[in-house]
């Protein structure tokens, strides 16, 4: 099912209903059952036991002390009574604080780490095709930003609702016999509060969802303006005003969404104010009437009803607010849940064959592929690499070379046609097992904020001597004594910074550390000068003596000695042969070759250094 259609189906399934409400709440609460059962038990003791007891004692203490004084119990007895009730409250408060300080305050960080790792693990196990779907990115962003906060919020709300209900029940028992009208009034206010809070929570969730797009643009610009890689462009081009305009529009769009919901916010605030004040006013009128008619003579009861009214108001406001917030969390839960419900078949495939050790045979037969949602397509691409051969793929930008490499890694599946390893369809291999036998170097090399040693060992662990040999082989001798130095200055002020060319050399050194039967190279030396690139290509083709090698290259000088060269244009193979055969053919390859040679002449370079000596016919 296409990603966009799958997302539409998921949205239909998540249409609000009581079942969906509880499913979303359970989805947010479930990680705590998995990672924090002890935390939950202690939290229940805090909010379900200690908190209600403390609150009940604070209501009862007033009447207990007044009753002692009113009936001539004396100061000493009144003091002891006050100390008894206050003591229970203090013990409950101290117990709750001790649970926080000794366990919950630090345990919550451990649980947070585990929950957030689940997000990133799931993202890695999600098919690459989903990355091309904006809906997936929206839900992914919500998951990374909101899953933890909404999960912990949901857990706390559930416990506070339980605590408020228990507190309400205890006070209800205390006053129900003397003031039954009180219960009817509070039930009515509770219904009003629940309705308004639930309605507003759903409106707020819709507002947040509408703000995702503007927020993504603002976040993109925040990130863009502090990236080192774009600073030169910001200062030397006219792009900055365009970006500022984009920023301003995104902010205005966010404000416009907020303005749409202001009337609802006003109504909700009015309803909550009504709920806050009515109980106290009603109790005062009720008690005044009771004393005026001689129905009440107990001053302690008066004090208890006033305290109970305040507590009831607090509880009802709390319960309705918390249930409303739980509704908001449920709405978020549905949106975040869609991230986890994107169906992946490729990355979750565990069963399958393993690629045999040694140099594989690689073949593409009439491969067709289009990116999800339309866009670029490969059409009827066929290619063959015998075991140990060095194959090059060349062509103008946008010809489909990098897409072909993604298919060889099975980051995507073909729409039709076959990719074969050793005569077996790539779909019969377990993706992770297959990729473990393939070494890859891309044009844009990722350098991680880890030590140099850890960066070199992304494919395989190796002894330090082997790591240093790999650094020397690619011309990074200056780094051989820096294996324990952290790269980048993300976390360390004295972190080691690499140039673009050095980063590409490091990526190639990783291949020398590993042991692969197949090596895929996607313009891995584009940031190097022609002489350095020629040396790197020679080194990699030496490596190819122990591996089948497929290289995407822009500079044709780097692929002259490949066993076979494929020329691509507009998503299809247009020419195939050795360097000499393609020059003799007089087609696209020869034109590209001579055009690049002319460029180097204009730059002051010599054809002999980069291409050998070519006459008008292109022969050496």
Per-residue pLDDT reduced to its tens digit, 363-420: 999 999 998 766 678 999 999 999 999 999 998 888 888 889 999 999 999 999 999 9
pLDDT one-digit tens code per residue, 551-572: 998 878 778 888 999 999 989 9
**Are the C-beta atoms of 215 and 338 separated by less than 8 Å?**
no
Bridge partners for 496 per DSSP: 487
Task: Give dist(CA 391, CA 380) in Å, integer.
Answer: 18
Over residues 173-190, the mean pLDDT reads 65
Task: Take residue 283 and report the two structure tokens written for it.
Answer: 């109790």
Indicate the pLDDT class of residue 598, thresholds 50, 70 and 90: low
Q: Where are the domains of the chain?
A: 18-341, 362-610
pLDDT one-digit tens code per residue, 244-253: 887 787 777 7
Over residues 476-501, the mean pLDDT reads 87
Over residues 109-113, the mean pLDDT reads 87
- What DSSP character marks residue 426? G
Task: Give dist(CA 33, CA 44) in Å, integer.
Answer: 13
**Are the C-beta atoms of 365 and 417 separated by less than 8 Å?**
yes
- CB-based contacts of 487, cutoff 8 Å, min separation 6: 447, 448, 449, 450, 451, 452, 455, 495, 496, 497, 498
At residue 532, the 3 state secondary structure works out as helix
Indicate the pLDDT class of residue 13, thresholds 50, 70 and 90: very low
- Is a pLDDT exceeding 80 seen at residue 313? no
Indicate the pLDDT class of residue 266, thresholds 50, 70 and 90: low
Parallel, antiparallel, or unpaired for β 424-425 and 377-385? Answer: unpaired
- Is a pLDDT exceeding 70 seen at residue 298? no
Query: Crossing angle of helices 37-44/134-175, nearest 10°?
Result: 30
pLDDT for 564 equals 94
More confident site: 4 or 125: 125
* Highest mean pLDDT out of 81-85, 130-134, 174-178: 81-85
**Are the C-beta atoms of 620 and 613 separated by less than 8 Å?**
yes
pLDDT for 324 equals 74
Superfamily name with CATH number, domain 362-610:
P-loop containing nucleotide triphosphate hydrolases (3.40.50.300)
pLDDT for 618 equals 37
List the single range of 233-242, 551-560, 607-616 with lowest mean pLDDT. 607-616
Domain 18-341 matches domain 362-610 at the CATH topology level = no
pLDDT for 347 equals 86
CATH 3.10.105.10 correct for 18-341 = no
- Is a pLDDT exceeding 50 seen at residue 9? no
Average pLDDT, the chain: 79
């Amino acid at each position: 099912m296409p990603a966009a259609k799958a997302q539409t189906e998921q949205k239909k399934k998540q249409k609000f209903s009581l079942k969906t409400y509880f499913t979303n709440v359970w989805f947010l609460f479930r990680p705590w059952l998995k990672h924090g059962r002890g935390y939950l038990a202690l939290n229940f003791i805090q909010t379900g036991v200690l908190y209600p007891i403390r609150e009940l004692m604070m209501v009862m203490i007033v009447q207990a002390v007044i009753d002692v004084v009113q009936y001539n119990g004396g100061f000493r007895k009144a003091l002891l009574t006050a100390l008894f009730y206050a003591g229970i409250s203090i013990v409950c408060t101290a117990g709750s604080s001790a649970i926080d300080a000794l366990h919950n305050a630090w345990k919550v960080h451990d649980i947070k780490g585990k929950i957030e790792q689940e997000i990133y693990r799931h993202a890695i196990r999600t098919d690459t095709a989903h990355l091309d779907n904006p809906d997936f990115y929206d839900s992914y962003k919500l998951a990374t930003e909101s899953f933890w906060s909404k999960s912990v919020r949901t857990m706390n709300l559930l416990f506070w609702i339980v605590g408020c209900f228990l507190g309400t029940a205890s006070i209800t028992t205390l006053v129900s016999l003397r003031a039954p009208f009180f219960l009817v009034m509070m039930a009515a206010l509770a219904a009003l509060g629940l309705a308004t809070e639930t309605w507003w929570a759903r409106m707020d969730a819709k507002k947040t969802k509408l703000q995702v797009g503007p927020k993504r643009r603002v976040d993109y610009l925040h990130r863009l303006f502090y990236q080192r890689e774009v600073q030169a462009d910001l200062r030397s081009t006219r792009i900055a005003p365009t970006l500022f305009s984009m920023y301003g529009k995104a902010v205005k769009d966010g404000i416009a969404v907020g303005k749409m919901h202001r009337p609802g916010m006003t109504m909700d605030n009015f309803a909550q104010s009504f709920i806050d004040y009515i109980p106290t006013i009603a109790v005062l009128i009720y008690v005044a009437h009771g004393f005026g008619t001689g129905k009440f003579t107990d001053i302690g009861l008066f004090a208890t009803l006033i305290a109970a009214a305040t507590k009831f108001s607090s509880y009802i406001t709390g319960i309705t607010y918390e249930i409303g917030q739980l509704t908001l969390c449920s709405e978020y839960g549905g949106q975040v849940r869609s991230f986890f419900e994107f169906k992946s078949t490729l990355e979750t495939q565990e069963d399958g064959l393993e690629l045999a050790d040694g140099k594989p045979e690689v073949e593409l037969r009439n491969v067709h592929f289009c990116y999800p949602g339309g866009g670029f397509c490969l059409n009827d691409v066929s290619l063959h690499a015998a075991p140990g051969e060095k194959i090059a793929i060349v062509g103008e930008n946008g010809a489909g070379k990098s897409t072909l490499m993604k298919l060889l890694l099975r980051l995507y599946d073909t729409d039709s046609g076959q990719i074969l390893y050793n005569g077996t369809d790539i779909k019969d291999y377990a993706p992770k097992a297959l990729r473990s036998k393939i070494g890859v170097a891309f044009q844009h090399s990722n350098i991680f904020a880890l030590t140099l040693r850890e960066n070199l060992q992304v494919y395989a662990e190796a002894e330090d001597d082997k790591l240093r040999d790999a650094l020397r082989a690619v011309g990074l001798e200056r780094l051989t004594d820096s294996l324990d130095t952290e790269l980048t200055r993300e976390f360390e002020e004295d972190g080691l910074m690499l140039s673009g060319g050095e980063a590409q050399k490091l990526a190639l050194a990783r291949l020398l550390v590993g042991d692969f039967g197949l090596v895929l190279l996607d313009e891995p030396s584009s940031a190097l000068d022609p002489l350095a690139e020629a040396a790197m290509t020679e080194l990699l083709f030496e490596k190819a003596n122990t591996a089948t090698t497929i290289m995407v290259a822009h500079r044709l000088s780097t692929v002259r000695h490949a066993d076979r060269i494929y020329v691509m244009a507009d998503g299809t193979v247009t020419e195939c042969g050795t360097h000499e055969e393609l020059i003799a053919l007089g087609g696209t390859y020869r034109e590209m070759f001579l055009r690049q040679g002319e460029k180097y002449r204009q730059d002051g370079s010599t054809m002999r250094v980069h291409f050998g000596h070519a006459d008008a016919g292109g022969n050496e």
